[in-house]
Amino acid sequence: MKTFDQPPDIIIFGGPGSGKSTQAEFVTERLRASHLNMGNIMRQVVAERLPGFEEIRTHQAQGTLVPDEVSAQLAQNFLEATPKDTRVVFDGYPRTIAQVRDVENIEKREGREAAALYLRLPPTVAEQRLLKRAKKEGRADDTPEVIKDRIALFEKTIQPMLEYYSADDRLITINSNQSIEDVRLEVERAFDQL
């Protein structure tokens, strides 16, 4: 693992059903960090009618992705408002290699660096977990076809991001195919490498 000049921010990657948000909350609490949850930030912008809310609301209503420059601006605003001595845990962003590059540029401007934590989960296990969750929570929109599409999209987009962080030894991979507590313990041990 790369040696950092200061404790790095943490970008948590994980596909559907990997427990990404659960672990992001744990990491945020454990590190006393700021939690950058892009979905929550966008919902807040819309709810409070902050600058850019109309564009975000339009994309949400159409079910399309918000343009990278909009999410990059939200990430930049978040990092600028976060004290330099407070780490940031990224949850749900970045999702593409273009967004990774945006984050890297923002981090450099803010005098920060990031390490990536990847919660790896086999697609078949992810599918089982999501189907079980959909049934338990009555999610009518989480059909087997939709779930397979979400997993396939994640598998297609994750590889370039993993290669990017792996290239300069900033990637830690965690086996997410175990209990929440066992994943948490493995994540805890990963902090020793940072």
Domain edges within the chain: 9-188
pLDDT, tens only, 146-191: 888 888 888 888 999 999 999 999 999 999 999 999 999 999 998 7
Q: Which residues pair with 88 in a beta bridge?
A: 34
Q: Nearest-5° angle of CA 19, CA 9, CA 81?
A: 110
Amino acid at 1: M
pLDDT, tens only, 68-103: 999 999 999 999 999 999 999 999 899 899 999 999
Contact 192, 137 (CB under 8 A): no
Amino acid at 98: A
Q: Check: pTM over 0.75? Answer yes or no.
A: yes
Instruction: Find the DSSP H helices in the chain.
Output: 20-31, 38-47, 53-62, 68-81, 97-109, 123-137, 144-167, 180-190
Q: How many CB atoms lie within 10 A of CB 52?
A: 16
Fold topology of 9-188:
Rossmann fold (3.40.50)
Torsion of CA 176, 160, 31, 122, to 10 degrees: 0
Cis ω for the linkage preceding 16 (within 30 of 0): no
